[in-house]
């Protein structure tokens, strides 16, 4: 994983609100609770009153249980460890054809390509709080990311 990829993942964790919680966000349930152990996705259904729905989002990148099942199988993952969570997030970025943009520091272009995955990113359109591009760019730069020269 290159420096920009790591910084981009750190930025996603800041955007999702998990970075400062628990084990650097890796053991966070939706809503801010924590889970114990990384043997598998916790599959904890948490009621989110603001949206009047239940969610199984968990981990640093708030992955739903149903997506864990698919990625566990396709990536051959043995657990829901931080390394596994990072692999899934990078795979999701790759599937959106944004990995080359991330690695090259084309920050705004990359965010635009992956905003459908993380509801907190600007342009996601899930009627949830979206962070501003400026705020997220600062988080990315603070994490050591670099921007491509235009």
Give the CATH number of the domain where residue 12 resides.
Answer: 1.10.530.10
Mark whether 95 is an active-site residue. no
Q: What is the pLDDT of residues 76-88, one digit of tens each?
A: 999 999 999 999 9
Domain range holding 69? 3-142
Instruction: Look at residue 20 and tell me if it is in a domain.
Output: yes
Cβ distance 120 to 130 under 8 Å? yes
Q: How many domains does the chain divide into?
A: 1
Residue-level pLDDT at 108:
96
* Tokens encoding 22: 């628990």
pLDDT at residue 149 tops 90? no
pLDDT at residue 150 tops 70? no
- Mean of the pLDDT values across residues 20-30? 95
- CA 32 to centroid of chain Cα atoms: 15
Instruction: Look at residue 66 and tell me if it is in a domain.
Output: yes
CA trace torsion 109, 115, 121, 122 (10° rounding)? 70
Instruction: Look at residue 148 and tell me if it is in a domain.
Output: no
Q: What is the pLDDT of residues 95-130, one digit of tens each?
A: 999 999 999 999 999 999 999 999 899 988 777 788
pLDDT at residue 24 tops 70? yes
Instruction: Look at residue 80 and tell me if it is in a domain.
Output: yes
């Amino acid at each position: 994983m290159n420096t920009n990829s790591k910084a981009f993942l750190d930025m996603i964790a800041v955007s999702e609100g998990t970075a400062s919680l628990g084990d650097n966000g890796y053991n966070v349930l939706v809503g801010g609770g924590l889970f114990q152990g990384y043997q598998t996705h916790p599959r904890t259904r948490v009621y989110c009153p603001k949206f009047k729905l239940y969610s199984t989002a968990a981990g640093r990148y708030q992955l739903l249980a149903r997506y864990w099942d698919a990625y566990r199988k396709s990536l051959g993952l043995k657990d829901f460890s931080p390394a596994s969570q990072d692999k899934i997030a990078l795979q999701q970025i790759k599937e959106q054809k944004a990995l080359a943009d991330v690695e090259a520091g084309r920050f705004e272009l990359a965010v635009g390509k992956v905003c459908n995955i993380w509801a907190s990113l600007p342009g996601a359109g899930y009627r949830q709080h979206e962070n501003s591009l400026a705020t997220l760019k600062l988080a990315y730069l603070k994490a050591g990311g670099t921007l491509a020269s235009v």
